[in-house]
Chain A
Amino acid sequence: MSTCKPLLRICPKQQSLLPRTQCRHESTTRRHRKLLALPQAPSYTSDRSSPTLIFNPPSSAPNVYQTPLKFLPKDDKRRQLHAAAIQHSTTTAHRLQTSPIAAPGTPLHTSSHLPPRPSAALPAPVRAPYEKKYHLTDKEIGEIRQLRTQDPYTWTRVKLAEKFGCSQFFVGMVVKVPARAKEVAKEHEADRRKWGVRRREAREDREKRKEAWGREV
């Protein structure tokens, strides 16, 4: 039994004065297959009959052996080569610039299916960049030390960081309270002892994965 339904289907519901039209659905296997048969990417099809080499690697991380321009020493030859390449690409781009009559907004400008060209603007940062302030003086640092050592339960690192407008890391760098740290460690240890096997193993695996971040590319 064929799974293909008749190609031509007269749509009976179309009760209008308009002439009956053919209405095709993608409801058969064959039509789906035909629909999915996309033409090959132009980089895979050669326009020449002579045998050519097709090299079309998947997108991958940049090679670490290619030193970025900023990391090259001052007298490296590659700096001049890079500058020459930049100049060449700029002149080419100027030469291939679209003419004003085909500029965006004009009737000759057709919409492209390609992604927008990369702009010169940098991508968005992961975290908002900040400037280091270095605003705390010796007197304030002394105050931080005093508050933290006197009452570590009230003046936690978070509260001190909020009060003085610095980071918690800085507070911890300035003053250490080993007794309090020991207590906290003990609490954490007690919490950890309550974990079951699955949670403990999941945490351990996560730590292992985190260590591997700096190891592989």
Chain B
Amino acid sequence: MKRIAVSRCASQLLANQLPRRPTCPYAAAKNTAQHVTPHSHRIRARWQSTAAAQEDDGLGIEIPTPASTPRSPPRAARKPPPTPLPLEKLPSPHPKAADSSTKLHALRSRLSLPPRFPLPALARTLVHPSADPDPHFNNASLSILGRHLLSYYTSEYLLCTYPRLPMQVVFAAVEAYIGPKALAIIAREWGIEAAEEPGGEVEPGLLQFKRIQSGGALPEAFRRQAPWAWNVTTTHKITRTDEFGSEHAPPSPHALQRTPVPNEEAAQSFVRALIGALHVHLGSPLVKRFFRDHFLSRHLDVDKLFDFRTPTRDLSKLCDREGFDSPIARIISETGRLSRHPVFVVGVYSGKDKLGEGAGSSLDEARTRAAAAALKAWYLYRPVDVTVPSSMEGELDTSKWRPNLIDCGEVIV
């Protein structure tokens, strides 16, 4: 005989009044999918009377364990049923509340995510470790996964599309696409709003993190730190540091528990965690499509990232290296040479081929600009058809694969 659940009848009052937290959002999603209504008032009352140990006591042991997947074995299984806490005592919203949140429904459809993407997982990506230190309920592990996926997709796109780009420019471009600032902007464009204060009773569609008090100092982890090493080379930056080639170690998400963080940090952890959650729940083809639609579709002028100090010298070195004739600057046109505002248009030629063109108010300026334009034309070469390595993931037919151009590297003077 099927029992009528009392809490379902009075759902208006009790829908998200389920203070006992399930062990993980994944389990919560599974439970709600089966429409199992768990508790009645009687059972709740009995739980309240049991003198079980507080769940928070176990946190200190659990926290240092790194990235836990959503499928991790339920932590509370070995314990007697824990004491139900009032909602206000929970550090972040209850995963069950996610399914009834209009904000989360709206966000899922705004991002064109399929309905099979569980809302509790989406709600979990919005919980920063500073709000909820429990790694089963915050987005730390997902954001680590998402960060690596984002940096992989971005850097492979850049390296395959512009095979000759200097490493410094690659780092700058990666930062422009998926840097903390860019991710914070993306989160704002998606309509993510932050909760004033995290807590169990807060709407789960809001970004949950512990704010820095107004006038408060930036936490130690975000302040300027000593570089990882003093003799940091480009090779070191490629192999050792993060995807932006930064000199300082960014704070690990697991290290930010109960630390007040800036808005930008919380927003970027949400975007990264969303990518991680999409990868876990929907698989990599959809993540790649999502990445193309939301990240690569943002326009970036790669040619504005360059900053040449000695373009003429670099260009002659480049022509020497590649076996071209040494570059010669030639005046294509000029006007007002003896006036206050002359304009010279100078082209850099190697043999009979024009490499670049620049205009300036002095011959030197026009020549330098022309050399810089020629160098940019060299570095910004794009192959006609590009296949990124991740597009062949899990493909049985590899006939579409085109080997990518690998350049011998930037000009070093």
> Which A residues fall within an 8 A CB radius of B?
61-62, 64-73, 76-78, 122-127, 129, 210-211, 213-217
Contacts and interface: CB of A to CB of B under 8 A. Distances in A.
Given A68-B354, A213-B365, A126 B377 contact: no
Given A122-B352, A126-B363, A126-B367, A215 B358 contact: no
A134 to B, nearest CB: 14
B324 interface: yes
A77 B306 CA distance: 27
Given A69-B353, A70-B324, A76-B383, A214 B307 contact: yes
Interface of B: 303-304, 306-311, 324, 328-332, 346-347, 349-360, 363, 365, 367-369, 372-374, 376-378, 380-384, 405
In the complex, the 8 A-B pairs of residues with the closest C-beta atoms, listed nearest first: A214-B308, A64-B376, A123-B330, A126-B329, A213-B368, A70-B353, A67-B381, A214-B372
Contacts of B352: 122
A65 B382 contact: yes
Given A70-B350, A126-B367, A215-B372, 12 more contacts: A64-B377, A64-B380, A65-B377, A65-B380, A68-B377, A70-B324, A77-B384, A124-B330, A125-B328, A213-B360, A214-B310, A215-B307
Contacts of B310: 214
- Chain A contact surface mostly: loop
9 contacts: A64-B356, A70-B355, A71-B378, A77-B384, A122-B352, A126-B329, A214-B311, A215-B308, A217-B372
B306 A66 contact: no
A71 to B, nearest CB: 5
Nearest to B368: A213
B164 to A, nearest CB: 9
A124 B330 CA distance: 5
A201 B359 CA distance: 25
Contacts of B304: 216
Contact of B380 (A67, A123, A125, A214): A67
Given A125-B329, A125-B330, A126-B329, A71 B365 contact: no
